[in-house]
Each structure stands twice: as structure tokens, then as C-alpha cells.
């Protein structure tokens, strides 16, 4: 299969690249902002005019700066909504399958339990709204052959993320304030990357026409940011103390949902994905990080 991975330099894009040598029966093309700029519809059209047919597009690129999006709503909308729609139109016209990544931040966080795909989204920040519009545009444009995978709290060896920030702060400070009133499931980008590569190798994905649907996929279990930080310090043997604070004590531009834990049962049963517990995956990421640093 010819597979295009968009967003090659992001956490997920780079995590997919870790595994593609195991899939050498497929031909991967990797595109970053320099080849395919999602903020420009002309750049997107030009890219597809100059490249031949792909069997699958995996869109890992997004405008992900949650706080900055409050000031750059038009740019977030272009990248997360309008470009997603353009990709879906292209995929539809070429009979190409699309995997698009979305977010737990489409929910308002008021649920007491884990969110199902059938629960009503109601984003409380600009980023979440732009991602929800992207999902809806894909659902409308491609009635078949797209999977929209919502995930949450991504971290990895690559780029900027909570785990790397905590490792830095934990080695510099004796104590640190971390919010303790937002619940979610930390997700190791490597696990998500492996799951995506498994899905595209599944006969149900590649050999069949399937209706476009939303799926949730996070590591299993849930935590709050402060407990996540404590676990990082424990595993990394850092003595920094974590002080629990409420979201209101750490003002940021964008609101965050209080609970954005996703129920991933649907993707597990549909594609036989093996969900890993978040603590186990965190440990693996820390081991991989110490190999890198």
C-alpha cells in the first residue's frame, strides 16, 4: 500500500516513523509543513496535484497550541477544520482511506464517567471547537472509509510535552505546583502509532468499504495531572515534591475539561487493539528517553 503520513515532525508523526521499518511491504511517504502546509489550501492542492495516488492518508498534523489558539482562532480553524475537510475531499475523490486524529478536548468535561463516542461533544476552548469542526467536516464529506481517532494527553520522546517538562522541572526544583482537578488518560504516542499501523494492516480496514466513524483510543486507566507528575518523579527517581493546586490557581488562556477520560472499548473490539495501562507505557517512554538522552 502507498501510505502518506502528514505531520511527520510531530510527536505522533515521529512515533509512527519509529515503526515503519517493520512494515516494509508498504511504501511510506512522509510530509511535514515544508512539503504540505495545512494553513494554505493552495499548498494542499499543489501537493496532491504533484503526487500520485495514495491508498491511505494518516493525518497526524494539527494546530495543537491549545492556549495560543484562543488568539489564533482563524489559523486553528484553517488547519484543524478546513484543511481536514480538504483532505477528506481529496481522499473521497481518489478512493483513498483516511485516518484522522482528534481530541478528548471536544468534550466539556462534565461527564462523571468515561466518554463514549456517542456522547455529545461540547468543546470549551477554541482548539476543541476547531477539532470538532474538522471531525464533522470529515463525517459529512466522506460517508465511507475514514476513521476519526480521538486520543488524549499525548506524550513521547519527541517535541514538547508534559512528561519532558516535568523531567526538566523535577531536576531543577525542590517543589512544583500541578493541577489536581482535571482527569484524563495519558497516552504514549508510540502506543497510538503502533495501534494505527495495526489498524491499517487489518483486513477490515484495507479490504472493505466501511462507514466513516469516530473511535476513542487512549492508554487505559485515568489520573489527574498532579498524580501523573508524581508518577513521573517516582519512576525517574526525582525528589521534587508535587503540590496539588486547583485549575483556578494556574491561570491559562484556554479552559480545560475537568474530565476527558475516553472509553476505548469500541476500537479494541473492532480492530483487536491491545490497550496498555498508562503507567506501564510511561515507564517504557522513560526508558526510551534515557536511551536517547
Ligand X SMILES: NC(=O)c1ccc[n+]([C@@H]2O[C@H](COP(=O)([O-])OP(=O)(O)OC[C@H]3O[C@@H](n4cnc5c(N)ncnc54)[C@H](OP(=O)(O)O)[C@@H]3O)[C@@H](O)[C@H]2O)c1
Binding site for ligand X (CB under 6 A): 7, 9-13, 32-33, 36-39, 60-64, 79, 101, 103-104, 131, 151-154, 159
Residue whose CB is less far from ligand X, 36 or 138: 36
What is the distance between the alpha carbons of residues 17 and 34, in angstroms, rounded to a whole number?
17
For residues 54 and 4, the answer to whether their CB atoms sit within 8 Å is: yes
Cβ proximity to ligand X: between 208 and 253 the closer is 253
Closest CB 230 distance from ligand X, rounded Å: 19
Q: Which residue is nearest to ligand X (CB)?
A: 10
Which residues are registered as beta bridge partners of 2? 27
Query: How would you write 12-67 as a 3-class SS string?
Result: HHHHHHHHHHHHCCCEEEEECCCCCCCCCHHHHHHHHHCCCCCCEEEECCCCCCCC
Angle formed at CA 204 by CA 38 and CA 44, multiple of 5 degrees: 10
Is the CB of 24 or the CB of 215 nearer to ligand X? 215
CA distance 257 to 120: 14
Q: How far is the CB of 74 from ligand X (least distance, A)?
A: 12
* Inter-CA distances, 252 with 62, 70, 75, 173, Å: 20, 10, 19, 21
CB of 71 to ligand X, least distance (A): 15
Minimum distance of ligand X from residue 283's CB (angstroms): 19
> Smallest gap, in angstroms, from Cβ of residue 196 to ligand X?
11
For the chain, how big is the Rg over CA atoms in Å? Answer: 19
Contact present, 193 and 15 (Cβ < 8 Å): yes
Instruction: Give the residue with the Cβ less far from ligand X, 25 or 252.
Output: 252
Which CB, 101 or 236, lies closer to ligand X? 101
The nearest distance, CB 207 to ligand X, in angstroms, is 26
Instruction: List Cα–Cα distances, 230 to 50, 118, 191, 237, 279, in angstroms.
Output: 49, 33, 22, 10, 11
User: CA-to-CA distance for 131 and 80, rounded, in angstroms?
Assistant: 5
* 215 part of the active site: no
| Residue among 76 and 242 whose Cβ is closer to ligand X | 76
Active-site choice (105, 115, 127, 155): 127
* 138 close to 88: Cβ distance less than 8 angstroms: yes
Q: Give the residue numbers annotated as catalytic, written as ranges.
A: 127
Amino acid at each position: 500500500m502507498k501510505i502518506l503520513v502528514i505531520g511527520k515532525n510531530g510527536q505522533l508523526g515521529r512515533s509512527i516513523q519509529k515503526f515503519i521499518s517493520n512494515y516494509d511491504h508498504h511504501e511510506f511517504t512522509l510530509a511535514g509543513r515544508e512539503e504540505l502546509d495545512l494553513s494554505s489550501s493552495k499548498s494542499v492542492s499543489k501537493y496532491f496535484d504533484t503526487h500520485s495516488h495514495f491508498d491511505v492518508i494518516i493525518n497526524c498534523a494539527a494546530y495543537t497550541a491549545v492556549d495560543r489558539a484562543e488568539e489564533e482562532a482563524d489559523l486553528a480553524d484553517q488547519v484543524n477544520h478546513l484543511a481536514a475537510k480538504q483532505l477528506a475531499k481529496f481522499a473521497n475523490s481518489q478512493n483513498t482511506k483516511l485516518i484522522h486524529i482528534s481530541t478528548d478536548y471536544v468534550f466539556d468535561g462534565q461527564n462523571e464517567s468515561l466518554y463514549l463516542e456517542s456522547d455529545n461533544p461540547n468543546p470549551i476552548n477554541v482548539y476543541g471547537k476547531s477539532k470538532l469542526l474538522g471531525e464533522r467536516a470529515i463525517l459529512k464529506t466522506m460517508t465511507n472509509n475514514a476513521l476519526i481517532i480521538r486520543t488524549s494527553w499525548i506524550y513521547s520522546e519527541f517535541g514538547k510535552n508534559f512528561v519532558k517538562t516535568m523531567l526538566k522541572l523535577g531536576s531543577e526544583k525542590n517543589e512544583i505546583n500541578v493541577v489536581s482537578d482535571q482527569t484524563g488518560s495519558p497516552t504514549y504516542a508510540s502506543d497510538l502509532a503502533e495501534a494505527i499501523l495495526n489498524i491499517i494492516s487489518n483486513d477490515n480496514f484495507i479490504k472493505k468499504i466501511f462507514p466513516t466513524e469516530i473511535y476513542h483510543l487512549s492508554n487505559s486507566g485515568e489520573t489527574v495531572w498532579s498524580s501523573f507528575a508524581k508518577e513521573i518523579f517516582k519512576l525517574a527517581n526525582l525528589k521534587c515534591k508535587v503540590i496539588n493546586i486547583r485549575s483556578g490557581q494556574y491561570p491559562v488562556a484556554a479552559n480545560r475539561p475537568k474530565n476527558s477520560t475516553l472509553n476505548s472499548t469500541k476500537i479494541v473490539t473492532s480492530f483487536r487493539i491491545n490497550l496498555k495501562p498508562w503507567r506501564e507505557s510511561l515507564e517504557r517512554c522513560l526508558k526510551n528517553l534515557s536511551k536517547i538522552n
